[in-house]
Homo-oligomer: A and B are copies of this chain.
Amino acid sequence: MMRAWLGGKLCAPEEAHVAIADRGFLLGDGVFETMRVRNGRAFDLDAHLERLASGLKVLDFAQAVDLGRLRADVASYLSAEAADSAILRVTVTRGAGPRGLAPPGAPHPTLLMTLAPMPAPRDSPLSLHIARRTRRNEFSPVSRIKALPYLDNLIALEEARAHGADEALMLNTRGAVACATIANLFLIREGRLETPPVSDGALPGAMRALALSLANQVGLTPVEASLEEADIAAADEVFLTNSVRGAAAAGSCNGAPLRRRAGGALERLRGLIAARIEET
């Protein structure tokens, strides 16, 4: 097992602990990023640090985090662990505070980094389930940052698993489809690459942004527009994106098979993403 990075230094995972007064633990008061590591470097690091900074700004402790130092810490950690292919998680919390919800005036943020092995590649397409037990809250700025709290996503995922599906799609409070629990949702339809806008409660994923930027190269027009449940079944191809898996095809939704006839566009997109990752 690889060492962790905590409090500015490497430590054995079993010796790495956080204080019980840490607001990340007590209140979910923090943000994180999950990145693909390749050739010893974090893929798309700039995009991830930018999103992390936007999260810190929403939570109002950006001034307490030195992003240049954080970038240097990422490099030191990956170099020390000689990570070739792995998954990096960077967690930043507001650190310890006194009892209660009101944050300390001068926070001392906690920075934790951990590495995990890449999961085995997956061959079969994903089975999806549209979650009914909870919704994404598009009214909350927290829906647009990668914050620690993942309970609604967890509840949706457990519902999907209980229905024998791999992953859940989450609706927002208006009933539009927002995203999956650990991924963004895309569909290909009539030459368009469609994904819900961030204002619908979709997390602005780094891989989502990359897929949109590559759309034209695979002959598709990128479109950010609200998606309804019926759009899933009507698509030529449905897939999910995240930083760990890249772009993963969906084979069914609520037990019904999905079309997979986008003429190889998804495969070409996957090829472009893989090439970018290899260039890291």
Q: Enumerate chain A interface residues (CB-CB to B < 8 A).
A: 4, 6, 13-14, 16-22, 24-29, 32, 58-60, 87, 89, 91, 93, 99-103, 112, 114, 116, 133-135, 137, 139-142, 147-155, 157-158, 161, 173, 181-182
Contacts and interface: CB of A to CB of B under 8 A. Distances in A.
B149 A151 contact: yes
Residue among A20, A89, A116 with max Cβ neighbours from chain B (10 Å): A20
24 contacts: A17-B19, A17-B20, A18-B20, A25-B93, A26-B32, A26-B148, A27-B154, A28-B28, A59-B154, A89-B99, A99-B114, A99-B116, A100-B182, A101-B182, A103-B158, A134-B139, A134-B142, A135-B140, A137-B140, A140-B152, A140-B155, A142-B155, A149-B151, A173-B173
Given A25-B91, A27-B148, A142-B152, 4 more contacts: A27-B154, A101-B181, A141-B155, A142-B151
A173 B19 CA distance: 35
Given A60-B158, A100-B182, A27 B150 contact: yes
Contact of A28 (B6, B134, B140, B150): B150
Contacts of A149: 27-28, 147-149, 151
A18 B22 CA distance: 10
Interface majority SS (helix, strand, loop, mixed), chain A:
mixed
A102 to B, nearest CB: 7
B20 A154 contact: no
Residue among A17, A133, A137 with max Cβ neighbours from chain B (10 Å): A137
Nearest to A4: B20
Contact of A17 (B17, B60, B154, B157): B17
Given A101-B182, A134-B140, A22 B25 contact: yes
A100 B91 CA distance: 13
Contacts of A100: 182
A102 B24 contact: no
A244 to B, nearest CB: 9
Contacts of A24: 25
Nearest to A135: B139
Nearest to A136: B137
Contacts of A6: 20
Residue among A89, A103, A151, A173 with max Cβ neighbours from chain B (10 Å): A151
A114 B149 CA distance: 22
A102 B157 contact: yes
Contacts of A26: 32, 91, 148
A29 B154 CA distance: 9
B4 A157 contact: no
Contact of A153 (B16, B101, B158): B101
